[in-house]
Structure 1
């Protein structure tokens, strides 16, 4: 019986000796997992905000695209050039004797309504893209631009005045003329539907048939 008691005591001590390291291992393992979870949860809160690089890039690209479609103050402008920026208007030079022709030929300048500066270079006229909307057609667009941008004294001046001759679709008619002065007729020329001049031989009598 004494032998049986010793055997049971030894087995109990061995079991306790075996369970103690196992419990320590389980405890350390659980502690490690707890630390990992706590670190993972705290990283988004402690990491400084880096913003949104994609959003910033999109906004910068959009700003560049918007700036590239409008002209800044002091840049040359005209009927066939991009529009002036917000708060600006395309105006002919102050000393220009023929302001309408200056706008038509792209010799205006983007400026405030109270400030006018001299243009530095001339803009080449480019064919506008065709459109089905009469209000956006080249001739109608030119006519609207001239009417909105003109002051009353320009119509009362002694200089030649050109008002585009448009068809029902808003495109240029084949024959365009400067304004008449009494019995003296203005000079005429031939253009295509986009307003670009075309070469036509004049008639023998001096007339022009486009």
Structure 2
């Protein structure tokens, strides 16, 4: 049943049916490329964290009332959380499920005015929200088709992972490069490759 909700522990991704109530499609713990895992259907339906708010989930098509308060934990949204909501799966015929999932999650969080995620203390999250704002605007353009784009890969503390990659929806691996975790700037002399750029060599 392609439209039935998936059960706990079931494999999921951007092109699968949504997870059941109270579950969210997430990349495996420790997965270095959560976005890549979700695009390949290597996620799993897991219970939602207790501190997840209905507004941040944005799972109900009817809409959910925003909570009175937003905890710091729910405000610290990572790239995985923004891109991994199984309940925002696009129709199977949609070419841009990842991008639109991210935008839908972003707009939901923005509606809650999650200022904590956009403070100067979290440079990667701030850039991520800025990029999603731009993509949300581009989505509204008639006939706009985006197949390659960049979303900052942020750690849970709001800084950058040293390895950053493009997201490609045309089946070809995107370019990857190395950055400084504290500001996201590309490391001078580092290469751009479709694979592992070996970022660890710059931090020993």
TM over 0.5: no
Greater percentage in strand: 2
User: What TM-score results when the alignment is normalised by the length of structure 1?
Assistant: 0.36
- Provide the TM-score with structure 2 as the length reference: 0.37
Of Structure 1 and Structure 2, which has the larger fraction of its residues in helix?
1
